[in-house]
Amino acid sequence: MEYAGLAFQLMAAPALGVFLGGQLDRWVHISFPVFIWAVPLVFLIAMFVKIIKDTSRKK
């Protein structure tokens, strides 16, 4: 039951990252969409680090 919301989190984090990245790209006025790629990638890396820490064996 502890990991029931994991699938939703894995879908919501990149979606939120794409939205925030698009907003940052519009705010900064960059011709190439840098933030729309970088922000979701950072969110995914953070999610996987959290998953690994949560599921690793505790000593």
Sorted by sequence, the CB contacts under 8 Å of residue 44 that are 6+ apart come out as 13, 14, 17
In single-letter form, the type of residue at position 2 comes to E
Sketch the domain layout of the chain as residue ranges.
6-55
Q: What is the pLDDT of residue 38?
A: 93
Tokens of 43: 């969110």
Instruction: From first to last of the 59 residues of the chain, give the pLDDT tens digit.
Output: 667 778 888 888 899 999 999 999 999 998 888 999 999 999 999 988 988 888 887 65
Q: What is the pLDDT of residue 21?
A: 92
For residues 21 and 35, the answer to whether their CB atoms sit within 8 Å is yes
Q: What is the pLDDT of residue 31?
A: 84
